[in-house]
Amino acid sequence: MTLTSKTSPATSPAPAASLAPSGGTNPVLKLVTRVLDWPMAGLQRLIGERRMPYVFLLPNLVFFGLFVFVPIAINFVYSVTGGPALFPSERPYVGAGQYSYLFDCGSYVDPNTCREDHFWRGVYNTLFFSFFQVVAMVGLSLLTAVVLNMKIRGRGFFRAVYFFPVLLSPVVVALIWKWILQRDGLLNAAIMGLGGDRTLFLAEPGWAMFWVIFVSVWAHMGFYTLILLAGLQAIPTDIYEAAEMDATPRWRVFWRLTLPLLWPNLIVVIVLSLIRAVQTFDEVFVLTGGGPGTSTLMVVQYIYETAFSNQVQNFGLAAAASVVLGIVLFALTLAQLAFTQRKSS
């Protein structure tokens, strides 16, 4: 009697009632909810209320697995097979042969001693590009965020201007800068108009790598500036007011207060920009095509050319290179998660 009197209808679990049709006054919607209610209520009685969220997640999980995990598995199958055949069933199993071919080097410092020297030139170019691009990206983004966080005239306008290149397609960005930097482009016209000599910005290896880094920083700096700007605006203002009352120099306030409090955002920016730098392809491919020679050839472009654009297509070698690149990106993602968890704790 006591248990019966303490159990009220409002608090007792009622799985079937939670799925009661509620279509409101719309007759069509009411009919749809009534039709869906019967199988969903039966399914809930069968698997229990706690497992019902997985039913609603199942369609997304199926599509995610179909378009992410299945291609990864197929790519791995290609990386352990050889031959020119397209279908996996017609390709002979070679084990780790493709990986052995990629890593067969007399000296990893000298790409000329490697059997697949283009892969290693792509690796070195990607490392060089990633280091200088990330350093320039983080430094300029931090400087821009600090300036845009000040009370300057036209602050909203300048925030929009710095973010605008992020909205452009990488191909559009590369075509614009190719028009500016080509032999008879806008920049050479300006230099010659001032009495200077024509410079082959995209035909000399040093200049080509410089402009590839410059264009990448210009195109993506706005996104990282936005992250750092949000971090700066989250710092409590009373800290700066206390430092101002103590007459602390500005450089000391930035170094001892702003930078430590902004460090979690800086870690996110560094890891995200590094992952993007390793994956770079479209801008460089349109701007220089990897040239002159192989001076701006990146790993992703090597994978694309090996699999699709070379006269002899080698799907297995390209798949092995993409697996190696995927492992590197996975390690960078784990590093980002570790730093994020440390930030949360």
> 142 and 261, same structural domain?
yes
> 312 and 241, same structural domain?
yes
> 117 and 261, same structural domain?
yes
Q: Are 301 and 237 in contact (CB under 8 A)?
A: no
Averaged pLDDT of the chain: 85
CA angle 149, 264, 233 (to 5 degrees): 25
Per-residue pLDDT, 214: 95
How far, in Å, CA of 52 to CA of 40, rounded?
Answer: 9
Residue count of the chain:
345
> 180 and 62, same structural domain?
no
Q: Is the dihedral of CA 218, 224, 226, 232 positive or negative?
A: negative
Could you read off the pLDDT of 125-178 as tens digits, one per residue?
999 999 999 999 999 999 999 998 888 887 788 888 888 888 999 999 999 999
Judge whether residue 337 has pLDDT over 80.
no
Q: Are 96 and 84 in contact (CB under 8 A)?
A: no
Q: What's the domain range around 306? A: 111-342
> 131 and 59, same structural domain?
no
Judge whether residue 230 has pLDDT over 50.
yes
Give domain status of residue 162, yes or no.
yes
C-alpha dihedral, 129 to 132 to 134 to 139, nearest 10°: -160
The rounded percent of the chain whose pLDDT value lies above 70 is: 92
- b/e per residue, 280-303, with b = 16+ CB within 10 A? bbebbbbbbebeeebbbbbbbbbb
- How many structural domains is the chain composed of? 2
For the chain, the first-to-last Cα distance in angstroms comes to: 49
Per-residue pLDDT, 10: 42
H-assigned helices in 48-169 = 52-64, 70-79, 97-102, 117-148, 155-163
Helix (H) or strand (E) holding 208: helix 205-233
Q: Which two tokens stand for residue 180?
A: 């500016």
Give domain status of residue 90, yes or no.
no
Q: Are 262 and 232 in contact (CB under 8 A)?
A: yes
| For residues 237-245, average pLDDT | 87
- Domain stops at, among 27, 61, 80: 80
Q: Are 49 and 16 in contact (CB under 8 A)?
A: no
- CATH label of the domain that carries residue 252: 1.10.3720.10
Residue 313 φ/ψ, nearest 5 degrees: -80, 130
Could you read off the pLDDT of 268-325 as tens digits, one per residue?
898 889 888 998 999 999 999 988 988 999 999 999 999 998 888 899 999 999 999 9
Judge whether residue 50 has pLDDT over 90.
no
> 185 and 74, same structural domain?
no
Residues 6+ apart with CB under 8 A from 175: 286
Q: What is the DSSP letter of 254?
A: I
Give domain status of residue 42, yes or no.
yes
Q: In one letter, which amino acid is 118?
A: H
Per-residue pLDDT, 7: 41
> 203 and 66, same structural domain?
no
> 258 and 166, same structural domain?
yes
Give domain status of residue 10, yes or no.
no
Q: Is the dihedral of CA 180, 182, 187, 192 positive or negative?
A: negative
Give domain status of residue 155, yes or no.
yes
- b/e per residue, 158-192, with b = 16+ CB within 10 A? ebeebeebeeeebeebbebbbebbbeebebbeeee
> 288 and 229, same structural domain?
yes
> 205 and 64, same structural domain?
no
Is residue 92 helix, strand or coil? coil
> 173 and 269, same structural domain?
yes
Cα 159 to Cα 185, 272, 278: the distances in Å are: 29, 21, 27
Give domain status of residue 314, yes or no.
yes
Per-residue pLDDT, 334: 86
Give domain status of residue 94, yes or no.
no
Q: Are 120 and 342 in contact (CB under 8 A)?
A: no
Give domain status of residue 290, yes or no.
yes
> 251 and 328, same structural domain?
yes
Judge whether residue 1 has pLDDT over 60.
no
Judge whether residue 88 has pLDDT over 60.
yes
How far, in Å, CA of 168 to CA of 161, rounded?
Answer: 12
